[in-house]
Amino acid sequence: MSYQEYLDPVEKGIIDKIIQKALELKYMISVNDEEEEYVRRSRNYAEVTEAVGISDVTYLFFRNEEGLQFNDNFMAIYDRKEFGGILLVHGNGEDVISDYTDNEHMKQLVDHALKTTHTEK
């Protein structure tokens, strides 16, 4: 793991399950805190995990492939395909997940991380 060395091991385990599941689903991941974007649309595990925990708060944003669509006038329309985000507040141990977008994509990531974490105890 490439995480910041001072992150709590329980937090690392939960976050790692989220990131690995997202990468398995071919999601691109962006990582930022409240002020700066550290990683933009990456599928590189080391790059993403290295940016987690740089500050007390980490936002993970997930999306599928970006693409262009065209309307009837052949004008390009940007297609975001963003699934949502997860807010991590570090220092909370097993409660590191503070909030997340309420949809099936984010629920799948969070449920996977929490379910597998609780069954490992």
Express each pLDDT in 31-63 by its tens digit: 999 889 999 999 999 999 999 999 999 999 998
pLDDT over 80 (residue 67): no
pLDDT at site 2 = 81
Q: How many folded domains does the chain comprise? A: 1
Range of the domain at 14: 9-119
Q: Is the pLDDT of residue 89 over 60?
A: yes
Average pLDDT over the chain, rounded to an integer: 86
pTM for the whole thing?
A: 0.83
- Contacts for 31-35 with beta carbons within 8 Å, 24 or more apart? 31/58, 31/59, 31/60, 31/61, 32/58, 32/59, 32/61, 33/57, 33/58, 33/59, 34/59
Is 2 within a domain?
A: no
Does the residue 73 lie in any domain?
A: yes
Instruction: Please check whether residue 78 is in contact with residue 65, taking contact to mean a CB–CB distance below 8 angstroms.
Output: no
Query: Is 4 a domain residue?
Result: no
Give the other-Cβ count within 10 Å of 49's Cβ.
22
pLDDT at 68: 47
Tell me, yes or no, whether 21 lies in a domain.
yes
